[in-house]
């Protein structure tokens, strides 16, 4: 499903059979403009989607922005201006803002985590904990914030989780079966929840090992145990307050589900004038 198809469904959800408030209060031919104003500093993401929503409502609307996705902007910055029929602007307002606020929130939280680990070789990754049908936009927002994308879906990367391990009969068995079945171009990653499982994964020659819900001290011992034989990823419960300590252990990656499932939306208002 294309972005436009999803945006049309989002507009249909909000508008339904018609915007009754706007139809009742705003003359059809009245024109003006609306300014998208930040109420807090952020990293921008979703400007192209913001523009596209208004274009789908009314192709005659003109949208301009002095910014690009990935730029940083301060509070009170006017990040976009929409000009044309005010009725069209009001009809598209909520859908356009919802997406812009959400994507800016993801980019901003990602940027804060990336800055928190600056100076270490550790990279911040996203996860598949995304809003259904909006994964591509949310992962793009992570990229705009300076983070890296983990696998997009189940089809483009092998990640053996704890339930796979249980179903396969253990860490070693799961890795061996993955090696036999997987294309040679795909790395085999496995999730472990103890140092004992880490040793088992190392012995089975996993390419990447995810240390799930390890403490900082446990991660440090895991790095020593691995001794460079596999890439190590930390996942589970990492926050802005703890991410630096995890990065300084020497792990290669830290994946943070909160980037896409808990990032607070950025406060942005649309100020309309006739």
Spatial contact of 147 and 116, defined as CB atoms under 8 Å apart: no
Active site members: 94, 129, 161, 191, 212
Q: What is the largest CA-CA distance in the chain?
A: 72
Angle value at C-alpha 44, between 38 and 50, nearest 5 degrees: 80
Q: Which residues face 72 on adjacent strands? A: 43
> What are 33's two structure tokens?
């403009």
For residue 155, what are the contacts with CB-CB under 8 A and spacing of at least 6? Answer: none
Closest CA to 79 of 122, 38, 32, 125: 38
What b/e readout covers 259-268, taking b as 16+ CB neighbours within 10 angstroms?
A: bbeebebbeb
Helix H or strand E encompassing 63: strand 62-64
Q: What is the DSSP string of 185-253?
A: TSPEEEEESSHHHHHHHHHTT-SEEEEET--HHHHHHHHHHHTTSSEEEEESS--TTTHHHHHTTT-SE
């Amino acid at each position: 499903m294309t972005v436009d198809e999803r945006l049309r469904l989002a507009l249909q959800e909000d508008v339904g059979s018609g915007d009754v408030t706007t139809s009742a209060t705003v003359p059809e031919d009245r024109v003006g403009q609306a300014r998208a104003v930040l109420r807090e500093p952020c990293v921008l993401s979703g400007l192209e989607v913001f523009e596209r929503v208004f274009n789908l409502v009314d192709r005659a609307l003109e949208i301009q922005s002095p910014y690009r996705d990935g730029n940083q902007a301060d509070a009170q910055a006017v990040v976009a201006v929409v000009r044309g029929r005010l009725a069209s602007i009001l009809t598209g307002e909520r859908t356009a803002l919802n997406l812009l606020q959400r994507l800016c929130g993801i980019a901003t939280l990602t940027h804060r985590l990336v800055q928190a680990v600056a100076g270490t070789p550790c990279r911040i990754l996203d996860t598949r904990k995304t809003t259904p049908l909006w994964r591509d936009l949310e992962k793009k927002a992570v990229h705009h914030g300076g983070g890296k994308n983990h696998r997009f879906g189940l089809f483009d990367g092998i990640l053996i989780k704890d339930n796979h391990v249980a179903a396969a009969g253990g860490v070693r068995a799961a890795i061996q079966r993955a090696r036999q079945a997987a294309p040679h171009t795909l790395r085999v990653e496995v999730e472990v929840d103890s140092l004992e499982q880490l040793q088992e994964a190392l012995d089975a020659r996993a390419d990447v090992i995810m240390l799930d819900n390890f403490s900082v001290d446990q991660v440090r011992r895991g790095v020593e145990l691995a001794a460079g034989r596999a890439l190590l990823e930390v996942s589970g419960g990492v926050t802005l307050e703890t991410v630096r300590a995890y990065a300084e252990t020497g792990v290669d990656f830290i994946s943070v589900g909160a980037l896409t499932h808990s990032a607070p939306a950025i406060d942005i208002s649309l100020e309309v004038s006739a």
